[in-house]
Amino acid sequence: MRERRLSVLLSLAIILILNTPAFCEDSELVKNFKNARVLNDEKEMVAVIAGNREKIPAEVAVLLDQATAPGVTEEDKRGNFYIAELIATIYKDQFGDPQLLRGVKIRYYDTLLSPPVRPTPAGGVYMVEMPAPTETAKNLFKPDNIIIKKGETVKFVNNDVSKHILASVPFIGETGLFSSDMETGHIWEHKFEKPGAYYYFCFIHRSMLGKITVEDTEAAPAPAGGQPSGGTPAK
Ligand SMILES: [Cu+2]
């Protein structure tokens, strides 16, 4: 009896917390979904999604915008991504459409990466390093978010003391990366023939995340400042 009362009180507390407007007021639909989630009422969760097919993508878009808005707290960010992923998962199961869930995952992974950079390839090859650990950082790809062009090659170099295995993140973006075991000093290179976004992670250290965006262009970009002659010779 007492446990029951306690669990009801706990549920109510969580409802109150989840319903506290943090950044933006939730829509009626999201409120209903969150309440069903708190009560562990799976039937109701599915009903909210199944009965609102047309509305769901826009609702998820709002959740994602809130999650990535400037100044959002880490807690609100996580909470919104969690609810968005849950809604998109049920949406996928109900309507057989995985695109919404892909979109949620991509937006989430992008928040974990550094802003994208366009490094200068050395001899036509880019390098992504797994550096030796420092006091503040370990198990990472550096740089972790680069933009290259179709047909270019990236060399992944393990300068770390640990073994890493590089693999495509399943389900989102282009797949097909798999390095197998990379011991210290090991180099694995991959030529990117197909344009698209390649998300990859370490099979052993799952929080190690990287992204390669392959642009559908083979031409060198025009120099921003209108570089005169004497620049790099054409390949
Ligand atoms: Cu690793």
Give residue 118 CA to ligand 1 midpoint distance, Å.
24
Report how far residue 41's alpha carbon sits from residue 93's, in angstroms, rounded to the nearest whole number. 17
List the CATH number of the domain containing 136. Answer: 2.60.40.420
Whether 154 is covered by a domain: the verdict is: yes
Same domain, 105 and 129: no
Give residue 149 CA to ligand 1 midpoint distance, Å.
26
Give residue 111 CA to ligand 1 midpoint distance, Å.
20
Same domain, 104 and 161: no
Whether 229 is covered by a domain: the verdict is: no
Given 84, 112, 140, the domain boundary residue is 112
Give residue 139 CA to ligand 1 midpoint distance, Å.
6
Q: What is the pLDDT of residue 218?
A: 76
Whether 114 has a pLDDT exceeding 60, the answer reads yes
Give residue 115 CA to ligand 1 midpoint distance, Å.
21
Q: What is the pLDDT of residue 123?
A: 83
Average pLDDT rounded to a whole number, residues 201-207: 94
Whether 235 is covered by a domain: the verdict is: no
Report how far residue 157's alpha carbon sits from residue 8's, in angstroms, rounded to the nearest whole number. 54
Q: What is the pLDDT of residue 208?
A: 96
Whether 89 is covered by a domain: the verdict is: yes
Q: 173 is in which domain, residue-wise?
A: 125-215
Residues with Cβ within 8 Å of residue 194, at least 6 apart in sequence: 150, 174, 214
Same domain, 50 and 144: no
Residues with Cβ within 8 Å of residue 60, at least 6 apart in sequence: 84, 87, 88, 91, 100, 103, 104
Q: What is the pLDDT of residue 232?
A: 44
Same domain, 54 and 133: no
Same domain, 107 and 131: no
Same domain, 129 and 105: no
Give residue 165 CA to ligand 1 midpoint distance, Å.
6
Same domain, 90 and 137: no
Give residue 73 CA to ligand 1 midpoint distance, Å.
28
Domain count, the chain: 2
Report how far residue 176's alpha carbon sits from residue 214's, in angstroms, rounded to the nearest whole number. 14
Write out the residues surrounding ion ligand 1, Cβ under 5 A: 164, 202, 204-205
Q: What is the pLDDT of residue 233?
A: 43
Same domain, 178 and 90: no
Whether 133 is covered by a domain: the verdict is: yes
Task: Choose between 175 and 9: higher pLDDT.
Answer: 175
What is the phi/psi pair of residue 194, to 5°?
-105, 125
Whether 230 is covered by a domain: the verdict is: no
Report how far residue 32's alpha carbon sits from residue 42's, in angstroms, rounded to the nearest whole number. 12
Give residue 158 CA to ligand 1 midpoint distance, Å.
10
| Residue 79 pLDDT grade (very low, low, confident, very high; cuts 50, 70, 90) | very high
